[in-house]
């Protein structure tokens, strides 16, 4: 699935509710999902499937935030299409952190 397809699917499922909640409330939900991913990454017993679920949740909430602000995530991802945005190399050769 392309990023744009994923973003549209998340909009279809959740956009009205998330837009009604507003940017600040939706951002708090996003941060909760980031916290769940953090905990899953630090649990040795987490399965690949469990981690995939947490990564998917974070991506879904990130796409929702982008949709609320009118940002096309696939277009935004183009920032990295030519490698590092500063030196245009992959891997990065400029030493920026």
Here the CATH number for the domain that contains residue 74 is 1.10.287.1080
Average pLDDT, the chain: 94
The tally of domains found in the chain comes to 1
Please report whether residue 29 resides in a domain.
yes
pLDDT (mean) for 2-21? 97
Of the pLDDT bands very low, low, confident and very high (cuts 50, 70, 90), residue 56 is: very high
pTM here is 0.89
Domain residue limits at 71: 3-80
Instruction: Single out the residue of 57, 10, 14 nearest to residue 38, CA to CA.
Output: 57
Q: Is the pLDDT of residue 93 over 70?
A: yes
Does any domain span residue 93?
no
Average pLDDT score over residue span 58-82? 98
The alpha-helical segments, DSSP class H, found in the chain are 3-21, 23-41, 48-68, 73-77
Whether 70 is in a domain gets the answer yes
Please check whether residue 14 lies inside any domain of the structure: yes
């Amino acid at each position: 699935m392309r990023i744009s397809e994923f973003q549209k699917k998340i909009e279809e499922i959740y956009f009205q509710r998330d837009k009604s909640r507003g940017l600040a409330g939706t951002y708090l939900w996003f941060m909760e999902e980031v916290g769940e991913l953090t905990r899953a990454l630090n649990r040795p017993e987490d399965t690949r499937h469990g981690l995939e679920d947490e990564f998917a949740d974070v991506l879904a909430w990130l796409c929702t935030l982008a949709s609320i602000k009118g940002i096309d995530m696939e277009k935004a991802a183009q920032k990295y299409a030519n490698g590092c945005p500063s030196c245009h190399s992959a891997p990065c050769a400029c030493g920026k952190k």
